[in-house]
Structure 1
Amino acid sequence: MKFNSRTLVIIVYDILVAAFAWLGAYWLRFNLDVPPEFETAALATLIWVVPLQAVVFWRFGLYRGIWRFASLPDLKRIVLAAGLAALLIPVALVLFRVHAIVPRSVLILDPLLLVMVMGGSRLAYRAWKEHRLASVLRPDSKPVLVAGAGSAADFLLRELARNPAGFHVVGLLDDSREKQGRLVQGVPVLGVLDDAAVVAKRLGVDDVVLALPSAAHEIRKRITEACTGAGLNVMTVPSLEDLVGGRVSVSSLRRIELDDLLGRDPVQLDDSGLHGLLTGQVVMVTGAGGSIGAELCRQIARFAPAKLVLFEQSELALYAMEQELPRRHPELAVVPVIGDAKNAAWVNRVMEMHRPAIVFHAAAYKHVPLMENGNAWEAVKNNVLGTQVVAAAAQVHGVGKFVLISTDKAVNPTNVMGASKRLAEMACQAMQQRAGDAPTGTRFVSVRFGNVLGSSGSVIPKFQKQIEAGGPVTVTHPEITRYFMSIPEAAQLVLQAGLMGKGGEIFVLDMGEPVKIAELAKLMIRLSGADEARIRIEYTGLRPGEKLYEELLADDESTLPTPHPKLRVAKARPADPGWHAECLDWLAYPDSYDEATVKRQLKTWVPEYQPESA
């Protein structure tokens, strides 16, 4: 053990405590009026007792701990050391023939006083360092109520005690009956989670902290809505994944965000299988600068591919990824490539140079109203011809798997974007049918899912800007609903589907329960600290090509389960024979078609397509 000045001070302190405890035992024995003969005996034995106790304290490692972190193990060592010293004192006095009268009660009182003073002083020092008396020592700190009384709450209390961050906890809430009325770190459990608003009002608290990092999102959403409805500010501790990974401490409180409420349970990935698919392989991602494409790149980089080829039309988006990935993964070989997925010559050249083993095709036009009027032909060319060009190049250059990122809008489409993505799925199925079951051929897999939180062009960033501007928040229809999942979850499930796909499948992701957009807008307004009286909601009517609700399966489709609970396989309607060649001839037309012609032709190949004009 390292011996320093602080350790010496503690040793001297404990020696003084030992002397005090020995003399104090005599004082207590004689009610603070020690007879002269016993006072002489106490002083005569002191020179034997204190050194003996000091040696025992040293041997029990009482000076290895740090007082600021004193805990039960330290108290246990003090109890054992005091107990052993109490047994050795009479033996030593007899052995060294110390002629002094030592009452038996003194031998019992001495170790009790030692434990009380030594243990109490350490505990008091820790309490002082951790500012336990927050409301007295820090009158400017804000009182908070903590929802949760488990491990996260315990860690939060400890962290806030060491690093106050301007808060002190006045109470806990938990649904466990066994915890009601109990104390955690000296803070009482005052009720169940649903009592948050009532208890906060009673205590005059304006802030509630959710210490429920692993709780179901439905529970977090329920508590948040109740608290925001009562005008309370809601904060949360970091996610369990971030806490376990050591990226943040539990005291890194932040305002609760939409992802915390609409997010879902973590995706369980087949890491060993994905390592086999991606590690040491050349991987290519088209649309690598978009919301999904960029997150795919981040997730793929975790599996240490030999090379990651970023294919992107937007110079700015590509530059951002080219800067981000090497910073996060300095060992990763990143190849940024500017290009248009419809340019067959360039796509083939890129694949010939880099020979990818797997291609994720995320490049597409996805904004429904923009693609519906005036841009229909460009939407079809980009989404269908772009898919066909990249898929054909993958087949020519021996790519093992081609994974198409599709959409729920491809199901019973009412818009050009959805119909074009359904055609892209059909193109992949047609190429798989043509390749057959040859073991060395490219396997074509499609993955279909709904909206992702915070993606470019999605409703959530739009709502955030409208709220920041003071409103109004524009919603197309009071009954419109959408499925939502986080971008990381969508990317992870795409990787999992890519691993599981054998060729020709359309994987459907479990999107959970649909969310009413109007309710989403109200929740975002409350989370901002405002209410609908200050920021109103304005209904503008459905936009061109927009549905009231989205579907993940067409009427004549069914699904089959897979080994992964969040993935199912759609048994899609087989395409009419010969449509593929006819479609390619049509897409090769050098000029542009008018909108009516495009929609009419889409209806021919995708019978379930019901354009708005119909």
Structure 2
Amino acid sequence: MLGVDSVLIPLALLLAFSLHAGSSGAGSALEMMHSYLQVLPLLLLAAGALSIFLGVSAIQLNAYETAAIGLTGAFSIALVMVSVLLATAVQLPMVISTHIVFGISFFIFSISSRAVLLQVVLAIYRRSSVRCRVLIYGAGTTGTQLVSALRTHEHIEPVAFVDDNKALHGLVVARLHVYSPVRIAEIAAEKQIDRVLLALPSLSLPKQAQISRRLKKLGLEVQTLPSFAQLIGEEALVDKLTDVEPALFLNRDEVENVTGNGGVESYQGKTVLISGAGGSIGSELCRQVMQCRPAKMVLFELSEVALYRVDLELRQLAEETDTEIVPILGSVTDGRQVRRILSDHDIQVVLHAAAYKHVPLVESNPLTGLANNVLGTQTLASEAAKAGVERFILISSDKAVRPANVMGASKRLAELVIQDLATRVPAGEGPVYTMVRFGNVLGSSGSVVPLFQEQLRRGGPITVTHRDVSRYFMTAQEAVHLVLRAGAMAKGGEVFVLDMGKPVPIERLARQIVESAGYTVRDVITPDGDIEIEFIGLRPGEKLTEELTVTGNLTGTSHRKILSADEAALSEIEIASVLSALRSALAAGDEQAAKEVAMRWVEGYSQAVRTAHDAQAQAAPAS
């Protein structure tokens, strides 16, 4: 840059002399230049010093903007002053206007030379490297600022804009044409677009996600950027999709925490085994039992990942207590392992939460679901009696009542197994068997809340099976609290049902989740909303509503949120027949035979299946 300026100074002088000679009729420009040569070396030395002092020569070409132009102006004024001093010192016949023209000429030459050099350098870069051609979606403030930033980039070339604003179509913004989004596929092919940049920070995240998904279907790579105000910190980069506490969707008061309430003595100082310890309910059981300060907690879990996580968490909590944590990988269907665990660790309380609970998965894998949920329960419960366990609490489900799916039927069969064992254990001579039945747990794996929140992150739609579908909901914390209380008050054989309030319409829950994230539902009333709710029809085995009891007979207990259901039980011979037929079906791999066992012995199952099939046939998906 010093060399360029050193060449431009004589050229600017020559132009000034030419203009002066032409206007005044004085000697030729060359004669005036010849007389000025005696001070030119001093002017060049002074120019070099001034350029270094002001930093003009140190400014990179791609950073030469408004501030740099101002410095060049100051440099030009300083050169004029030095020229005046030198000409006066040697008594050169130069008028002040010639010096001023020299300064203006140098200023113009300097700026122009840098602009030309920048384009030359960029042209060299473009020819020597692969350029990424980008289409910018959004011709607003962020889009135009992005184009300005990318114009000097050596590897990225902005090609055109697309924008939803019809008023901009056909215009030129920041020297780029603005097109309609409907022409994106055509533009991408015609202009060889490599990537689309979404410059739409004011658009809601779901709508950005919808645009991104649409562009990716065209085979385009898509990237999103925040506004420049966000990048420099003027606007907080807050994720509007931060998960909301599940309790906010209950539409009722949550049950108080277990700490400091009754029931603690049934677990304090005991050796407690929790099956399914890594699941949603199992892990919360672990946390709340830990607060009761048991002597030992045996975590029995089939999933290695789930067991690792809950074990890691509990060991940190156990540092403040003397509770021993024993993680064990295994299945409740393995009789020999179950027997050894109960004996080796002298188990006193069993909380049985291990079960396959996802309705569609169990419906697709009935043999596995029945084996784990029914035979696993029978194995663990019968071995508990032999090992001298004091209490056995089965975690059941409201889907066990007149079930329309294999999962619900398996849970009802598990209840019948426990009811049978409870009748065969003399009072005070064996485990106190009981079971606790409740509905859906907000926030658990497979729950609609995390599913809806994930669909929301993807920009929707949120899928609901039917407009009229509703479910009972609890949080994991309150459900487990009540399970522990029910287990402590049990005398043997009770089917406890938790009071979960009124059933919640799933469509209303979906709307709450959308609105809690700061968005609006797109429907007939608000066609410009952010997220659409799509009705996809009932899934196999799904009912519109769930029930709490088969008979409808509920009696109160000492806790206002825990009720006792009067449910019919099977005889010992009937249970033996159920288990024998089920084992035969499993051994033969006969899914239909296994389902027929459940249909024969689970009250309401066969009728509910027929009703559910009829409902699915009649309910056409509506959007």
SS at match of 2:417: helix
Cα distance in 2 for residues equivalent to 1:498 and 1:302:
16
Equivalent residue number for residue 518 of structure 2? 529
Matching residue within 260, 280, 285 for 2:248 = 260
Per-residue CA deviations over 1:182-218 (Å, capped at 9, x if unaligned) read xxxxxxxxxxxxxxxxxxxxxxxxxxxxxxxxxxxxx
Note if contact 2:464-2:507 (Cα within 8 Å) is conserved in structure 1.
Answer: yes
Equivalent residue number for residue 567 of structure 2? 572
Report the residue type matching 1:422 in the other structure: R
1:361 aligns with 2:349: no
1:393, distance to aligned residue in structure 2 (A): 1.1
Equivalent residue number for residue 551 of structure 1? 547
SS at match of 1:310: strand
1:270, distance to aligned residue in structure 2 (A): 8.6
1:612 aligns with 2:609: yes
Matching residue within 495, 498, 501 for 1:509 = 498
SS at match of 2:287: helix
Cα distance in 2 for residues equivalent to 1:400 and 1:340:
21
Cα distance in 1 for residues equivalent to 2:446 and 2:338:
27
Cα distance in 1 for residues equivalent to 2:533 and 2:454:
14
Cα distance in 2 for residues equivalent to 1:514 and 1:272:
27
Q: Is the radius of gyration larger for structure 1 or structure 2?
A: 2
Note if contact 1:270-1:496 (Cα within 8 Å) is conserved in structure 2.
Answer: no
Equivalent residue number for residue 384 of structure 1? 374
1:273, distance to aligned residue in structure 2 (A): 4.4
1:372, distance to aligned residue in structure 2 (A): 1.2
Identity between Structure 1 and Structure 2 (%): 46
Cα distance, 1:393–1:285 mapped onto 2, change above 3 Å: same
Cα distance in 2 for residues equivalent to 1:258 and 1:302:
22
Cα distance in 2 for residues equivalent to 1:272 and 1:537:
42
Equivalent residue number for residue 327 of structure 2? 336
Cα distance in 1 for residues equivalent to 2:289 and 2:509:
31
Equivalent residue number for residue 494 of structure 1? 483
Note if contact 1:267-1:493 (Cα within 8 Å) is conserved in structure 2.
Answer: no
Cα distance in 2 for residues equivalent to 1:541 and 1:340:
35
Cα distance in 1 for residues equivalent to 2:259 and 2:486:
10
1:376, distance to aligned residue in structure 2 (A): 0.9
1:271, distance to aligned residue in structure 2 (A): 4.4
Cα distance in 1 for residues equivalent to 2:407 and 2:500:
20
1:281, distance to aligned residue in structure 2 (A): 0.8
1:573, distance to aligned residue in structure 2 (A): 1.2
1:477 aligns with 2:462: no
Per-residue CA deviations over 1:21-48 (Å, capped at 9, x if unaligned) read xxxxxxxxxxxxxxxxxxxxxxxxxxxx
Note if contact 1:544-1:612 (Cα within 8 Å) is conserved in structure 2.
Answer: no
1:586 aligns with 2:581: yes
Equivalent residue number for residue 429 of structure 1? 419
Cα distance in 1 for residues equivalent to 2:552 and 2:386:
31
Cα distance in 2 for residues equivalent to 1:255 and 1:473:
16
1:317, distance to aligned residue in structure 2 (A): 0.3
Report the residue type matching 1:358 in the other structure: V
1:436, distance to aligned residue in structure 2 (A): 3.0
Matching residue within 394, 409, 413 for 2:399 = 409
SS at match of 1:474: strand
Report the residue type matching 1:400 in the other structure: E
Cα distance in 1 for residues equivalent to 2:249 and 2:600:
42
Cα distance, 1:288–1:258 mapped onto 2, change above 3 Å: closer
Per-residue CA deviations over 1:285-341 (Å, capped at 9, x if unaligned) read 000000000000000000110000000000000000110011122132100000010
Cα distance in 2 for residues equivalent to 1:583 and 1:513:
34
SS at match of 2:605: coil
Report the residue type matching 1:367 in the other structure: H
1:588, distance to aligned residue in structure 2 (A): 3.1
Per-residue CA deviations over 1:504-533 (Å, capped at 9, x if unaligned) read 000000011111001111111111111112
Report the residue type matching 1:588 in the other structure: R
Give the structure-1-normalised TM-score. Answer: 0.57
Cα distance in 1 for residues equivalent to 2:590 and 2:583:
15
Cα distance, 1:546–1:448 mapped onto 2, change above 3 Å: same
Cα distance, 1:257–1:575 mapped onto 2, change above 3 Å: same
Give the structure-2-normalised TM-score. Answer: 0.56
Cα distance, 1:401–1:451 mapped onto 2, change above 3 Å: same
1:607, distance to aligned residue in structure 2 (A): 2.9
Cα distance in 2 for residues equivalent to 1:613 and 1:377:
20
Report the residue type matching 1:563 in the other structure: S
Note if contact 1:379-1:420 (Cα within 8 Å) is conserved in structure 2.
Answer: yes
Note if contact 2:254-2:478 (Cα within 8 Å) is conserved in structure 1.
Answer: no
Cα distance, 1:399–1:255 mapped onto 2, change above 3 Å: closer
Report the residue type matching 2:542 in the other structure: E
SS at match of 2:351: strand
Note if contact 1:412-1:609 (Cα within 8 Å) is conserved in structure 2.
Answer: yes
Note if contact 1:557-1:573 (Cα within 8 Å) is conserved in structure 2.
Answer: no
1:580, distance to aligned residue in structure 2 (A): 1.2
Cα distance in 2 for residues equivalent to 1:574 and 1:601:
16
In the alignment, structure 1 segments of 5+ residues that lack a partner are 1-253
Number of residues of Structure 1 aligned to a counterpart in Structure 2: 358
Cα distance, 1:557–1:530 mapped onto 2, change above 3 Å: closer
Equivalent residue number for residue 303 of structure 1? 292
Equivalent runs, 1:253-332 vs 2, <5 Å: 257-262=245-250, 264-267=253-256, 269=258, 271=260, 273-330=262-319, 331=321, 332=323
Equivalent residue number for residue 395 of structure 1? 385
Equivalent runs, 1:25-174 vs 2, <5 Å: none
Matching residue within 325, 340, 345 for 1:349 = 340
1:583, distance to aligned residue in structure 2 (A): 2.0
